[in-house]
């Protein structure tokens, strides 16, 4: 029997580079195997993993391959038509070595935990006070992390849905494409056939210029080929001759594809 494959897209934002490099080593496990990797070692346009028993496939893609490069805030605003409200979380402060200890704590994160070392910026006092009010709603930092991740995912739903609907107007399955340029190319051909009817009656129009094989034209061609062969010391005994004129003239006039 032929196994049935159920494929589930897993869409990230700006995940083709840094994020994928972190999870790539964990995509291959006892029950899952990588069946396709599109892209390079540093930029993964698409990664597909398949479960060995259920044959379910997870396809990891980056939403940015379907639009121009932009920040998440602009992605939500320009394509989703909304505003980004995902709260605050010190993701630089949490790492693989301290996450268990730090997230088990119940008190809010200290202000210095929000320092952005990559941009050399610190959170303002006003924004930290807003965080403290929000953090008071949670029992542990695990709850804060869970809420932040849920909001971080939810804000992407509407813009991604809008992109899919935008492509579907042209009968295009966006998630089957690999890039924005590929989507644009398919839209171009889709638009070209908007008014085309499969069973329509169309008059053929031949815009090609006819080739008129005249005797002077044919004589010049034959002599030119003979001259080329003589210069290269090639055997020209089987070449076309001037006497073949009528045969080839008729051939060109009556040829059909």
Q: Is the pLDDT of residue 257 over 60?
A: no
List pLDDT tens digits, range 110-136. Answer: 999 999 888 889 999 999 999 999 999
Residues contacting residue 5 through CB under 8 Å, at least 6 positions apart: 50, 55, 56, 57
Domains of the chain: 6-66 (3.30.720), 72-168 (no CATH), 215-254 (no CATH)
Encoding tokens for residue 111? 């202000």
Confidence grade of residue 1 (pLDDT, cut at 50, 70, 90): low
Comparing C-alpha atoms, which of 86, 129, 93 is closest to residue 114? 93
CA distance linking residue 57 with residue 254, whole number of Å:
55
**pLDDT-wise least confident of 14-23, 132-141, 231-240:** 14-23
Residues contacting residue 208 through CB under 8 Å, at least 6 positions apart: none
Q: What is the 3-state secondary structure (H, E, C) of 133-154?
A: HHHCCCCCHHHHHHHHHHHHHH
Report yes or no: 102 and 93 within 8 Å, Cβ to Cβ: yes
Residues contacting residue 141 through CB under 8 Å, at least 6 positions apart: 102, 103, 104, 105, 106, 109
Residues contacting residue 206 through CB under 8 Å, at least 6 positions apart: none
List pLDDT tens digits, range 126-182. Answer: 999 999 999 999 999 999 999 998 888 888 899 999 999 999 988 889 988 888 889
Torsion of CA 127, 115, 26, 43, to 10 degrees: 100
Burial of 50 (0-12, 13-18, 19+ CB in 10 A): buried
pTM, entire model? 0.64
Percent above pLDDT 70 for the chain = 93
CA distance linking residue 255 with residue 207, whole number of Å:
16
């Amino acid at each position: 029997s032929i196994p049935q494959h159920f494929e589930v897209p897993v869409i990230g934002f700006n995940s083709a580079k840094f994020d994928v490099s972190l999870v790539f080593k964990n995509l291959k496990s006892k029950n899952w195997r990588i069946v396709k990797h599109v892209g390079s070692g540093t930029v993964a346009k698409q990664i597909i993993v398949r479960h060995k028993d259920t044959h379910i496939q997870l396809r990891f893609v980056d939403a940015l391959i379907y639009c121009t490069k932009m920040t998440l805030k602009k992605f939500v605003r320009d394509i989703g038509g909304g505003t980004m409200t995902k709260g605050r979380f010190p993701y630089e402060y949490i790492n693989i070595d301290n996450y268990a200890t730090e997230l088990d704590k119940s008190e809010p994160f200290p202000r210095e935990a929000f320092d952005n070392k990559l941009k050399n910026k610190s959170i303002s006092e006003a924004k930290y006070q807003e965080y403290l009010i929000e953090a008071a709603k949670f029992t542990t930092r695990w709850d804060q992390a869970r809420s932040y991740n849920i909001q971080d995912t939810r804000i992407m739903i509407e813009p991604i849905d809008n992109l899919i609907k935008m492509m579907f107007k042209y009968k295009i399955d966006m998630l089957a494409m690999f890039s924005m340029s590929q989507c644009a190319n398919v839209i171009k051909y889709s638009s070209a056939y908007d008014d085309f009817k499969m069973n329509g009656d169309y008059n053929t129009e031949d815009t090609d210029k006819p080739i008129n094989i005249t005797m002077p034209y044919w004589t010049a061609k034959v002599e030119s080929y003979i001259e080329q062969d003589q210069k290269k010391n090639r055997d020209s005994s089987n070449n076309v001759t001037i006497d073949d004129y009528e045969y080839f003239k008729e051939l060109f006039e009556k040829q059909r594809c």
